[in-house]
Chains A and B, each alone.
Chain A
Amino acid sequence: MDWAPAQRILQQMSPVGESDLIPLLQNLQDTYGYLPAEVLTEVSRQTGIPTSRMYGVITFYAQFSMKPRGRHTIRCCRGTACHVRGGQSVADAVGRVLGIADGETTQDGRFTFETVACLGTCFLAPVMMVDNDYFGLLRPEKVNSILDAYP
């Protein structure tokens, strides 16, 4: 595991205390793509923030992951508006196309697929996001071509 990026983050944020835990984890995740346990253990040793404290926070917030994530994140909405307009069939299509279930990452590391409670764009229902891009008024058969644009 490359320790240098974590070291840079710790230097930039110095001095790091317990109240910096969430931004620290966000920076680490942005850099590594996820939160590797070995990196966190060393960060704990250097900062004195217990690994137990980190783990409590990491498992509480959906934004953090200790498993490697895909280069792109797909978020399919399962909110009320999307649900009544066929959101489930869109999510099913994503799962079928990629061959993975909700919460999983493709073998080639290209996509992580999640469903979320609401994306706040009900007027576009049914909707999904790929990274920071919205795709609305979806139909299952559109999924393939959308994903093709994310190598």
Chain B
Amino acid sequence: MADQVLLTIDERRVTVAAGSTILEAALGAGIDIPHLCHDPRLVPTGACRLCIVEVEGERGLQTSCSRQAANGMIVRTNTPAVRALRRTALSLLLSEHRITCTTCDKDGDCLLQDYAYEYQADESLFPNVSPRPGQPNYTTGNAAIEYDPSKCVRCQRCVRFCSEVQMAEALTLRGRGTQVEVTTGFDVELNNSTCELCGGCVNTCPTSALYDRPAKGLGRRRDLVKVRTTCSYCGVGCQMDLNVNRKLNRVVRVTSEPGCLPNDGNLCVKGKYATDFISDRERLTKPLLRVDGSFREVSWDEAIQAVAKGLTALRDQYGPDAIAFQSCSRCPNEENYLMQKLARMAGRTNNIDQCATTCHAPTVAGLASSFGSGAMTNSIAEIKNVQTLFLIGANPTDAHPIVGLEMKKARRKGARLIVCDPRETWMASRADIHIKHRPGTDNMLINAMMNHLVATGRFDRRFVAERCEDFDAFRANLEAYPLDLAARVCGVDADLIRKAAEWYAEGTPSSIFYTLGITEHTCGTENVQNLANLAMLCGQIGKESSGVNPLRGQNNVQGSCDMGAMPAHVSGYQKVADPAVQQKFLAAWGLPLPTNRGGRITDFIEQAGAGVLKGLYCMGEDLIRSEPNSTKVAEHLSKLQFLVCQDIFMTETAKLAHVVLPAACFAEKDGTFTNTERRVQRIRKAVEPPGEARPDWQILCDVATAMGYPMSYAHPGEIWDEMARLSPSLAGISYERIDKVGLSWPCPSKDHPGTQFLHKGSFPRGKGLFHVIRHRPPAEEPDKDYPLILSTGRTLYNYNVGNMTLKSPAISQKQSQNFVEMHQEDAARLGIQDGDMVRVVTRRGAVTVAARVACKVNPGALWMPFHFAETSTNLLTNDAFDNITRTAEYKCCAAAIQKP
């Protein structure tokens, strides 16, 4: 076959894909060739000379990492001549390496040490010329990374990784000959360079020249156990290894293996350097009960009884609408399943929700109404083959960094990049087309694109006719959205909109990626439906690398929805109102499903304020810091007769609670997370929880039992199996099947391979439904008193309310303070310099933060992250909600800037 080559390596016949190198062929066949500078993610350089082999009929020796395998090639990897040269090469490497294995953190986990031993390299053959250690360099004082040039073998893996994979371009080699050292441009301190602290340089370093500074001295290979788990930050679901020192009961560092799905050994700063919270001193360690206004430490028994009694009494006195259960998108599937079971069986209410309402509920509702299923349509691995990337309201390099890496791959392969974003993100600044539209004008923009495509006949008539319905009304509505109107309303050149539309329509294939820039609006669900319209109009869905791809924000927000932690659905999106579903769950759970309508988080808060909701059991969310208009949220929650918070830290919300239950974090229990591409992946217990903290699933079982509905499981795997039996789309997934690699649902049976992309051939609802979507302005527009539009979002370095990420010294050093981005024209008018402290004021509150003056946002616009406790951005945001899912408009509110 033309796409395969057959060669002989060490007398064995080996078949590999054409284009593979000799080294790849050998490693694939289990023949080990030593290599220091090779990393499968990088372009080969042949720098270390250890992978030399003999190729019959050729003079000299070849570096197998850079030489392509060819048909009929006869390769010998281990002849005396090869071994002798490798020994010399190793001896030369040792002459540039300060040999201190006795005190080295990488002792036992060092390729140079392994090869030197195997080849018995002679460390005294050449005089040692390694630089003196201890000279200041670009990592001196950096809390994340330490570079020791005296241990560096100049393989350039770090420099190449930084450039080729991360594209951060922070690192380079300085100088020539034996003086060569890794450094940043002009030797600036690492945190002042373009470094994104992904730690990829550290993870790829074959020696300990680059090492995680916080892990120094906390254990060598023999002291550390690697526990494979899933990252607990964003929805990408990176597979990573917690390196645990069991003696210290501590996660010492985080690594990842090239080749793993979905992240291929790559991590971002949060996965790599934000696990310090696990062993932080502020973790909750004992159940707390409010007695006479202050907390008292109590036994678990007393706490559980208090919770059960409090909730049961309110339920019995006021009915099922008086209590609510707030589940958690950060917690595993098993615990979300149990929380909704607890709510419905012990609480007898459909008042069950989780923070999808805060972010992607419009996705679930919008895509379900258009297609019949509300999830990311394609897999992460397909992104690299997209030819036209259409990003709208998404900032993947900050919020979903490993998806960002896949997009960078697509870009390197020549993909066109269209970014619609009011802010100049990493992707926007490198895009072919950046549409920097006014916040809140997405539907005007999308309608105008579709108007142009329909008017000029540039749409997929066949797909529309065969796979969709309700096209005529949709088409008629578009006539009100000509390009020039959109150009005026969005504040963008009409030609850009026209070109973006044409490129998207003609891409082979194109794919849409969006996040909260689309959903966190009062028209969030409509925004989502309109993106579905666009994809259907152009037939850009239901194919490989082509679809509508919401990037889910939290590690398990997909899973918490899948598990039925929502008012209208039980697990697997089975409708509570469906009589067949009711019958099935009655048989399985022993009690009928509740019949009340149930509410969402934002309803809970309002109903608490109105005195309708009396009791709330809140697992793992800091409502006060996360929900908009914090002052009002706190006021409303303080009216609750009974508030239970189950968390790993004392949050602002927990401070109001009557009972606080200390929970185990993701590193302290078993379970599964479902990532944004619907892939169910394992998390595994690595360390013991602090003090008396317990896994949430055990606490939930005890509470249910104390409320008179016994629940008991020996292991989270049993919870999963029960859920899978009851949920057709997840029925084929089991812990055994996902032990090594996760599976993406739908996976209806044990022999089903999982589903890579959705909607091939047909939609779950039959035909795709076109929606008539009209542009509606945001709930609050700028006026004389509040002349600017404030949007909020995530940064690369921090996560949500920051109480996990900011426990990391590496992250605190890089970004510990809130800020507001503003345009230099506005700043000049107000007499504000970059770095000045300013007051950001809205109708709901004010915070004082540093101004970042540049051109990242347009004149008239402001942008702030929301990670910082002392200057909480959600004091400012507007509690105006999407009309369908009650998701708040975090992306637009009117604001003013004042000098303090």
Q: Is the CB of B186 within 8 A of A66?
A: yes
Task: Give min CB distance, A49 to chain B, whole Å.
Answer: 9
Q: Is the CB of B183 within 8 A of A55?
A: yes
- In the complex, A37 has a CB within 8 A of chain B: yes
- In the complex, B404 has a CB within 8 A of chain A: no
Q: Is the CB of A52 within 8 A of B175?
A: no
User: How many angstroms between the C-alpha atoms of A86 and B183 in the bound complex?
Assistant: 39
- In the complex, B139 has a CB within 8 A of chain A: no
Restricting to B152-180, which residues have a CB under 8 Å from any CB of A?
Answer: 162-163, 169-176
- In the complex, B193 has a CB within 8 A of chain A: yes
Which residue of the partner chain, among B173, B175, B194, contacts A50 with CB atoms under 8 Å? B194
User: How many angstroms between the C-alpha atoms of A83 and B183 in the bound complex?
Assistant: 35
Task: Give min CB distance, B896 to chain A, whole Å.
Answer: 31
Restricting to B310-354, which residues have a CB under 8 Å from any CB of A?
Answer: none
Task: Give min CB distance, A86 to chain B, whole Å.
Answer: 28
- In the complex, A59 has a CB within 8 A of chain B: yes
Interface 0/1 of B166-204, CB less than 8 Å to A: 000111111110000001111100000110000000000
How many chain-A residues does the 8 Å CB contact rule pick out?
14
Q: Is the CB of B185 within 8 A of A50?
A: yes
Q: Is the CB of B194 within 8 A of A40?
A: no
Task: Give min CB distance, B156 to chain A, whole Å.
Answer: 10
Q: Is the CB of A52 within 8 A of B176?
A: no
Task: Give min CB distance, B47 to chain A, whole Å.
Answer: 14
Q: Is the CB of A54 within 8 A of B176?
A: no
- In the complex, A123 has a CB within 8 A of chain B: no
Q: Is the CB of A59 within 8 A of B169?
A: no
User: How many angstroms between the C-alpha atoms of A55 and B187 in the bound complex?
Assistant: 9
- The chain B residue sitting closest to A56, CB to CB, is B172
Q: Is the CB of B169 within 8 A of A56?
A: no
- The chain B residue sitting closest to A44, CB to CB, is B185
User: How many angstroms between the C-alpha atoms of A54 and B174 in the bound complex?
Assistant: 10
Task: Give min CB distance, A57 to chain B, whole Å.
Answer: 9
Which residue of the partner chain, among B169, B171, B176, B183, contacts A60 with CB atoms under 8 Å? B176
User: How many angstroms between the C-alpha atoms of A47 and B171 in the bound complex?
Assistant: 18
What is the predominant secondary structure among interface residues of chain A facing chain B?
helix
Q: Is the CB of A60 within 8 A of B175?
A: yes
- The chain A residue sitting closest to B175, CB to CB, is A59
Task: Give min CB distance, B145 to chain A, whole Å.
Answer: 15
User: How many angstroms between the C-alpha atoms of A100 and B171 in the bound complex?
Assistant: 33
Q: B173 — which chain A residues lie within 8 A by C-beta?
A: 56, 60
Q: Is the CB of B174 within 8 A of A56?
A: yes
User: How many angstroms between the C-alpha atoms of A91 and B187 in the bound complex?
Assistant: 31
Residue in B170, B172, B174, B184 whose Cβ sees the most chain A Cβ within 10 Å? B172
- In the complex, A88 has a CB within 8 A of chain B: no
Q: Is the CB of A51 within 8 A of B174?
A: no
Q: Is the CB of A40 within 8 A of B186?
A: yes
Q: Is the CB of A51 within 8 A of B185?
A: yes
Task: Give min CB distance, A110 to chain B, whole Å.
Answer: 27
- The chain B residue sitting closest to A50, CB to CB, is B169
Task: Give min CB distance, A21 to chain B, whole Å.
Answer: 12
Q: A142 — which chain B residues lie within 8 A by C-beta?
A: none
- In the complex, A53 has a CB within 8 A of chain B: yes
Residue in B169, B185, B194 whose Cβ sees the most chain A Cβ within 10 Å? B185
Residue in A40, A50, A54, A56 whose Cβ sees the most chain B Cβ within 10 Å? A50
Q: B175 — which chain A residues lie within 8 A by C-beta?
A: 59-60
Q: Is the CB of A55 within 8 A of B174?
A: yes
Q: A37 — which chain B residues lie within 8 A by C-beta?
A: 186
Task: Give min CB distance, B112 to chain A, whole Å.
Answer: 24
- The chain A residue sitting closest to B195, CB to CB, is A52
User: How many angstroms between the C-alpha atoms of A53 and B174 in the bound complex?
Assistant: 10
Task: Give min CB distance, A107 to chain B, whole Å.
Answer: 24
Interface 0/1 of A45-85, CB less than 8 Å to B: 00000111111100110000010000000000000000000
User: How many angstroms between the C-alpha atoms of A67 and B273 in the bound complex?
Assistant: 37
Q: A41 — which chain B residues lie within 8 A by C-beta?
A: 186
Q: B194 — which chain A residues lie within 8 A by C-beta?
A: 50, 52
Q: A50 — which chain B residues lie within 8 A by C-beta?
A: 163, 169, 185, 194
Interface 0/1 of B194-230, CB less than 8 Å to A: 1000000000000000000000000000000000000
Q: B163 — which chain A residues lie within 8 A by C-beta?
A: 50, 52
User: How many angstroms between the C-alpha atoms of A60 and B193 in the bound complex?
Assistant: 20
Q: A44 — which chain B residues lie within 8 A by C-beta?
A: 185
Q: Is the CB of B176 within 8 A of A51?
A: no
- The chain A residue sitting closest to B174, CB to CB, is A59
User: How many angstroms between the C-alpha atoms of A53 and B162 in the bound complex?
Assistant: 12
Interface 0/1 of B616-630, CB less than 8 Å to A: 000000000000000
Q: A59 — which chain B residues lie within 8 A by C-beta?
A: 174-176
Task: Give min CB distance, B177 to chain A, whole Å.
Answer: 10
Q: Is the CB of B186 within 8 A of A55?
A: yes
- The chain B residue sitting closest to A54, CB to CB, is B185
User: How many angstroms between the C-alpha atoms of A41 and B185 in the bound complex?
Assistant: 9
- The chain B residue sitting closest to A59, CB to CB, is B174
User: How many angstroms between the C-alpha atoms of A41 and B172 in the bound complex?
Assistant: 15
Interface 0/1 of B26-42, CB less than 8 Å to A: 00000000000000000
Q: A59-B174, A60-B175, A60-B176 are in contact. Are A53 and B169 (CB under 8 A)?
A: yes
Task: Give min CB distance, B365 to chain A, whole Å.
Answer: 41
Task: Give min CB distance, A10 to chain B, whole Å.
Answer: 18
Q: A66 — which chain B residues lie within 8 A by C-beta?
A: 186
Q: B174 — which chain A residues lie within 8 A by C-beta?
A: 55-56, 59
Q: A51 — which chain B residues lie within 8 A by C-beta?
A: 184-186, 193
User: How many angstroms between the C-alpha atoms of A50 and B187 in the bound complex?
Assistant: 13
- The chain A residue sitting closest to B184, CB to CB, is A52
User: How many angstroms between the C-alpha atoms of A122 and B175 in the bound complex?
Assistant: 28
Q: B186 — which chain A residues lie within 8 A by C-beta?
A: 37, 40-41, 51, 55, 66
User: How many angstroms between the C-alpha atoms of A37 and B186 in the bound complex?
Assistant: 7
Q: B185 — which chain A residues lie within 8 A by C-beta?
A: 44, 50-55
- The chain B residue sitting closest to A51, CB to CB, is B185
Task: Give min CB distance, A22 to chain B, whole Å.
Answer: 15
Task: Give min CB distance, A72 to chain B, whole Å.
Answer: 25
Q: B176 — which chain A residues lie within 8 A by C-beta?
A: 59-60
Task: Give min CB distance, B431 to chain A, whole Å.
Answer: 13
User: How many angstroms between the C-alpha atoms of A22 and B51 in the bound complex?
Assistant: 32
Task: Give min CB distance, A44 to chain B, whole Å.
Answer: 8
User: How many angstroms between the C-alpha atoms of A56 and B162 in the bound complex?
Assistant: 14
Q: B170 — which chain A residues lie within 8 A by C-beta?
A: 52
- The chain A residue sitting closest to B162, CB to CB, is A52
Task: Give min CB distance, B190 to chain A, whole Å.
Answer: 11
Q: B187 — which chain A residues lie within 8 A by C-beta?
A: 55
Interface 0/1 of A113-125, CB less than 8 Å to B: 0000000000000
User: How many angstroms between the C-alpha atoms of A66 and B185 in the bound complex?
Assistant: 12
Interface 0/1 of B447-482, CB less than 8 Å to A: 000000000000000000000000000000000000
* 14 further interface pairs, Cβ-Cβ under 8 Å (given A52-B163, A52-B194): A37-B186, A40-B186, A41-B186, A51-B186, A52-B170, A53-B172, A55-B174, A55-B184, A55-B186, A56-B172, A56-B174, A59-B175, A60-B173, A60-B175
Cβ-closest 8 pairs across A and B: A51-B185, A50-B169, A56-B172, A52-B172, A52-B185, A59-B174, A55-B185, A59-B175
Contact sample, A vs B, 23 pairs, CB 8 Å cutoff: A40-B186, A41-B186, A50-B163, A50-B185, A50-B194, A51-B184, A51-B186, A52-B170, A52-B171, A52-B193, A53-B169, A53-B185, A54-B185, A55-B172, A55-B174, A55-B183, A55-B186, A55-B187, A56-B172, A56-B173, A56-B174, A59-B175, A60-B175
